[in-house]
Every structure is written in C-alpha cells, then in structure tokens.
Structure 1
C-alpha cells in the first residue's frame, strides 16, 4: 500500500526526533537524582570514635586509649653525674591522653632480644597508673648493671607491653654505654624527672 509508506516514515522520524530530544534531559535528571539519593555518592556521616576493630588505637578499661609507639617519642641518654645510670623519657605527641598498659614500665631488651626483658625495680611503682597527657613526658631510670662483662650499646629496644614489637631507641649523645643485661634494672614510668632520679 504505497500511500501509507510516506506517512509511516514521517511518523517514525517524528518519534525518533522526540526520543533524541528527551534522552539528554532524562539522563541529566537521572544523574541529579542519584547524587542526592544514592548512598554511594551521598555525603557520609562523621566516623565514629576509633576502636580496636576499625584500626584505631587500643582501648583499656573504661574505653581509655592505651599508649602506642606511634603516639610517642622516646629519648635516652647517660646521666653525666650518676655512674651506671641512664634516663629514658617518653613524650606523648598525640592529640589525646593515653594510659600506659600493664606492666606500666618499659620492657627493655639489650642485644638480640632473646633474653627476658630487664627486671623492674619493684619499689619504684608510683601511687597510680600513669596517664600521659598530650605533650607530657614520663621518665624511667635505667641502672646499667654492676657486672664486669657488660657490652657497649648505642641503642636498645623499648616495648610498652608484653608481646609487642620493641621500638629501637638510640642514645642521644651517640656515645655507647656499657650495659650488663643480667644485672640491669629499670623503674616504673615516673611522672617527673625528679621522681625517676631518686633511683
């Protein structure tokens, strides 16, 4: 039926023209809807406080933050007027306070780390468990031992809790100190330099 062919062709062309005109409008409208409603592109809420499960700092009793090496800066050096004594300091450079984990004293390792940690001086335990505020410093005195077979060390390992990786701390003046790991001792973390130097 030849008379129908031009009409059908014009109808088809008109339909295609309408579709071509409407398609960009629909696409733009759809994009805008996705930006406001799609959870994948919506603004996310503020994250919750970090916990152990989401990679945040470890928590102690009451949800308090436990000090980790990433929050701290260590320094060690011999005491010029005290024979066989070194002072270890640790400063909190985080923006939040943290608590020292049990056993509340530095676990020191000299040499290859196969020896047990240096024993603590029991009488040096402070009255309360230490909390380290931002920019605050804690102190520990190290007696380097009395034996004659000590080794010269320019750095040693400091761990904050059992079964954790030790941080290697170098002596500040770069002068090796003679240490006998069999007779060396360390205090608990002290709140002041004066408290540490009593030992």
Structure 2
C-alpha cells in the first residue's frame, strides 16, 4: 500500500514538472514586429499604422509610437485623449493599431511628406524601445501640417480611428 502511495506522489510530481513555464512578454520593437501604414477613406486626413507581432513571445505595445514625417526635427504630437484602459498586448501574429491625423483645417505649414519614421516607446515613456523603422507613405506621399498627431496603440482598427 505504501508503494502505491509513493508511485502516485512521484507521478503527480512528474506531471507538475512537465507543465510549461509561463511566457514572459517582451516590449514591442521594430525588431519583433512588422509595421505598415496605409491611408484610410474615413475619417478624412487619417492614416492607420499597424504593428504585427512577428516574434515568438507576446509583446507589449506601450504608450504611443514616436513618429517623424520625413526629416522633421521633432516627434509628432500625441493625442492624450486616446489612452487605452490597459497596455495593448500582442500575441504572436496579432496586431495593434495607431491612428494618425495628418492635418486639420486649423493646421499650418502644410507640406507633402514621403517617409514616416516609427519608433516604439519604452514602458516608462522615457525613450525609445529599439531602433526606428522607416516606412514609405502611401500614394507617393501625404500632406501633413503642424496639427498632425498620433493615438496611443489600440487593440482594434476601429478604436485607433475613433480619435
């Protein structure tokens, strides 16, 4: 009887040891995501930035991306009204979205931009998370002005374009 009890204990211990360890998410960067940008029909003067996790671990898309149109000296403004309820977590193969307002009727210094530099931010929002990615803007370029802004990363396309 004691041998049977010992066998059951060893078997239960072996089953526990075989359980996979939880996967710890990493920060999303240009190295573990594929970034694309496209023009949308609605709302007007908007682009949609999409980040798809190409890595093998979940990643966190913190805050809003740093954006730079062409050779701009400063990052595009962030729409702070778009803060999501939680950090967007991307499982492998899944995507996050950021909406980009390129111009508005009150904007000034309108010009045609051809390239978009995108950099993920770190958790504390004190700097970049990894290197920047350079994307070509759709349609040979888009018009931007000083009212341009970007949303925080969102879990869906609809949420990103709501702002």
* TM class by smaller structure: 0.7 to 0.9
Counterpart selection for 2:64 from 75, 90, 105: 105
Tell me, in whole angstroms, the C-alpha distance in 2 between the residues paired with 1:194 and 1:137.
13
Whether 1:137 aligns to 2:95 is yes
Other-structure match for 2:48: 87
Other-structure match for 1:168: 134
Which structure's residues are more often helix, by fraction?
Answer: 1
- Structure 1 gaps, min length 5: 1-62
How do 1:114-193 and structure 2 match up within 5 A? 114-115=73-74, 117-146=75-104, 147-161=107-121, 162-163=127-128, 164-171=130-137, 173-180=138-145, 182-193=146-157
Q: TM-score, normalization: structure 1? A: 0.61
Whether 1:194 aligns to 2:158 is yes
Tell me, in whole angstroms, the C-alpha distance in 2 between the residues paired with 1:114 and 1:148.
16
Give the CA deviation at 1:121: 0.9
Q: TM-score, normalization: structure 2? A: 0.74
Whether 1:77 aligns to 2:38 is yes
Equivalent pairs counted in the alignment come to 133
CA RMSD of aligned residues (A): 1.9
Tell me, in whole angstroms, the C-alpha distance in 1 between the residues paired with 2:28 and 2:151.
18
Q: Deviations over 1:74-97 (max 9, x none)?
A: 111111232211111110011110
- Structure 2 gaps, min length 5: 1-23, 122-126
Tell me, in whole angstroms, the C-alpha distance in 1 between the residues paired with 2:73 and 2:109.
18
Q: Which has the higher contact order (CA 8 A, sep 6+)?
A: 2
Runs (4+) of structure 1 exceeding 4 A deviation are none
